[in-house]
Amino acid sequence: MGKEYNFKKGRKGQFPRSTERRGFVAQMSMKKKFKGITEVKGGIATLNLTPGRRVYGEKLVTLDEKEFRMWNPRRSKLAAAIYKGLKYMPLNKSSKVLYLGAAQGTTASHISDIAVKGIIYCIEISPHALRKLLEVCTFRSNMVPVLGDASQPQDYLHLLEKVDIIYQDIAQPNQTEILIRNSEFLLRDNGYVMLTIKAASIDTLVDSEKIFVREIKKLRKAGFNVLQDIRLSPYEKEHAFVIAEKKSIT
């Protein structure tokens, strides 16, 4: 279970571009807390696994002689989901995670900070993005970069083990089907998926809300218990974040 992070609006009712902008204070519920995620200076942060090193230009903050990396909700959809009221966080220090569409490692690196004793298998199809990802993984022993096509899990199946969580952030029309296929091969029973639905990548002619409902139905039909779905505006327009649990086969 976790904290809910909500911003007060400013004079014109607009959300801030920075979580630290003056006048915008994150209101935290102290009754709920995500392990590995800390409230720092009105925002959220993770304890830096590699002190002194940044991944995407994020601010480093020292608190109680520990270094934290501020987690920007405009650079990470998982951070945006937390700010928008994410209630379920399956990540823990020992989590095994398959990350589909890791790009240059922005969100994956924060997951790495949380799953310090776990492992994050980072699948990325772009050689250009992979070069940056390799730099990040060089200093993070719990991140494993894999050049591969997420739509073809059979190609990297032999490199991986079954995981506790599949996190997906890819821009494909069949992104939900790709997630389901990977889960069939690599997600343990009662494991979790965390899916970013990008409406514009699926169909630009259909209302985004209709797309979100349709894609969530696909997860349910595939045997997932959908725990929560969140709209990520204003951080990401026409994006939804879904967390679901794989039902065990009895």
d(CA 225, CA 202) in angstroms, rounded, equals 22
Q: What is the pLDDT of residues 66-99, one digit of tens each?
A: 999 999 999 999 999 999 999 999 999 999 999 9
- pLDDT for position 249: 66
Tokens of 122: 């980072």
> What's 58's DSSP letter?
P
Residue pair 82/5 in contact (Cβ under 8 Å)? The answer is yes
- pLDDT for position 248: 75
d(CA 62, CA 54) in angstroms, rounded, equals 14
Candidates 155, 137, 154, 153; CA nearest to 145 is 137
- Phi/psi of residue 238, each to 5°? 55, 40
- pLDDT for position 139: 96
Residue pair 38/44 in contact (Cβ under 8 Å)? The answer is yes
Which position has the token pair 């009754």?
A: 31
Block means of pLDDT (10 residues each) for the chain, 250 residues, are 36 37 35 80 93 96 95 96 94 97 96 98 95 96 96 95 97 95 95 95 92 96 96 94 86
- pLDDT for position 216: 96
Tokens of 14: 């607009």
Domains by residue range for the chain, with CATH: 5-71 (3.30.200.20), 82-246 (3.40.50.150)
- pLDDT for position 2: 37
d(CA 19, CA 190) in angstroms, rounded, equals 34
